[in-house]
Amino acid sequence: MSDNKPSATRRQFLGGAALAAGAAATGKLVHAQAADPLITELQPWQQFLGPGVDAAPYGMPSPFESHVVRRNVPWLTADSVSSVNFTPLHEMEGIITPNGLAFERHHGGVAEIDPADHRLMINGLVDTQMVFTMQDLMRFPRENRTYFLECAANSGMEWRGAQLNGCQFTHGMIHNVVYTGVPLRLLLEEAGVQTNGTWLLAEGADASAMTRSIPMEKCLDDCLVATHMNGERLRPEQGYPLRLVVPGWEGNMWVKWLRRLEVGDQPWHHREETSKYTDLLANGDARRFTWVMDAKSVITNPSPQAPILHGPGPTVLTGVAWSGRGTIPRVDVTLDGGMNWHQARMSGPSFDKSMHRFYFEFDWDGSELLLQSRAHDSTGYVQPTKDQLREIRGENSIYHNNGIQTWLVRENGESENVEVG
């Protein structure tokens, strides 16, 4: 463009078109001014050529999105090697977690492994012990499936009351990814599991050598040995070059940097599983081996990190829901702390053991709101309140908190994490 001043006709045309189209489509939503300089004046980015195609061989998000990152809570863990960070749920739409935003949970940092040097071994109660290279694995039939991974400790800080201010921190130990992988069943069949082989020990190649026992029934059902996430190779943080996918079950069983599978006739005794991955009940008993993640949901917008900035009027509420037992056919939302419930609108693909997206559009009158969402899964299970959970589990639990989350939205549009009695 040679002239950096738009002609009178161009200015009239643009201004008029913006108003007419906006008004027709959305009525009272439009705040456009007839002479908004951002539409009537030529902008710098219209006047110069931009960078060419090879400026970023691996593309990155716009610099204006640089705030959309995983974050951690420094006081939660002593160091970043055995630590966790959180997915920015309040900045996301749809159901897929972009690879760079998938939360990380490591017990011994990220192992850096050249796939040429990676091996997967199957030993124990099998007819033939086997060692696979990555190339060997790529010769098995593979499948594509979308699953959520939720750490059993997600929302664990919230058992005793509202703690962390933002859904990224209260609910962000979850990601939802399209995996490409070989069904674990095919590899086990290749090795020939013996009839007394009822358990599988999965071991990671990282310094923590994370080991987990998984019942053989689950292994032969829907587990994958995954090489890809969202169409590209696994990220190092997510277990490159190989990770176990254990659909619907707690994240700690999804062993990353997977190097060995041992078939046995009983579960192994894991330091972590007996001491940490146990839910203490109100009566002092412990609930062990609670692997399936129950239905859960959270409103991501508005939320403490995502205030309402536009004032009263048409407002879009959105959030995510998931269940380790199936799909989410329905989510209810309330604006008044549970006095009135409304059925939300589900939008996007509905996959088994995957995240689902819901919306609820409403006309905000500018008064205080107490927002909650309540997921129903395909088994008929309904997400409980935190008090209902506490009645069964007491207040000293850490894991498996799937209670209903409440956000208080103030008249100025800001919100905070609260509990309603």
Query: How far apart, in whole angstroms, are the C-alpha atoms of residue 127 and residue 318?
Result: 51
Task: From 249-257, 264-272, 288-296, 349-357, give the range in contact with Co ion by CB under 5 A.
Answer: 249-257
Q: Does 259 bind ligand MTE (CB under 6 A)?
A: no
Among positions 176, 238, 252, 372, the unique one binding Co ion when judged by CB under 5 A: 252
Q: Which is nearer to ligand MTE, 29 or 81 (CB)?
A: 81
Q: Could you tell me how many residues of this chain bind ligand MTE (CB under 6 A)? A: 21
As given in the structure block, the two tokens for residue 28 are: 């009272």
- Distance from CA of residue 135 to its chain's centroid? 30
Of 101, 122, 151, 320, the one binding ligand MTE (CB under 6 A) is 151
Asked if residue 327 binds Co ion (CB under 5 A), the reply is no
Nearer to ligand MTE, 106 or 400 (CB): 106
Nearest CB to Co ion, comparing residues 181 and 251: 251
User: If you ran DSSP here, which 8-state letter would residue 234 be given?
Assistant: P
- Given candidates 104, 279, 294, 377, which one binds ligand MTE under the rule CB under 6 A? 104
* CA-derived radius of gyration, the chain: 25
**Cβ proximity of 298 and 319 under 8 Å:** yes
Part in contact with ligand MTE (CB under 6 A); list of ranges 99-107, 127-135, 155-163, 294-302: 99-107
CA distance 392 to 382: 16
Q: How far apart are CA 263 and CA 274, in angstroms?
A: 20
Select 118 or 256, whichever has its Cβ closest to ligand MTE: 256
- Closest by CA to 397, choosing from 288, 267, 323, is 288
Q: CA-CA distance, 173 to 236, in Å (whole number)?
A: 17
Asked if residues 42 and 5 have their Cβ atoms less than 8 Å apart, the reply is yes
What part of residues 113-152 is at the interface with Co ion (CB under 5 A)?
Answer: 151
**Distance from the Cα of residue 75 to its chain's centroid:** 22
Helix ranges restricted to H, 172-282: 184-191, 216-221, 271-275
**Token pair belonging to 281:** 């009940």
Name the residue whose CB lies closest to Co ion. 151
103 touches, from ligand MTE, Co ion, none (C-beta below 5 to 8 Å by class): ligand MTE
Q: Which does 404 bind (CB under 5 to 8 A by kind): ligand MTE, Co ion, none?
A: none
Q: Within positions 201 to 220, which residues make up the interface with ligand MTE, using CB under 6 A? A: 204, 206, 208, 210
Question: Which residues have a Cβ under 8 Å from the Cβ of 189 and sit 6 or more positions away?
Answer: none
Q: Between residues 206 and 332, which has the closer beta carbon with respect to Co ion? A: 206
Q: Which of 105, 175, 212, 218 binds Co ion (CB under 5 A)?
A: 105
* 190 neighbors 118 (Cβ within 8 angstroms): no
**Chain residues in the site for Co ion (CB under 5 A):** 105, 151, 251-252
Chain residues that interact with ligand MTE, rule: CB under 6 A = 102-107, 149, 151, 175, 204, 206, 208, 210, 237-238, 251-252, 254-257
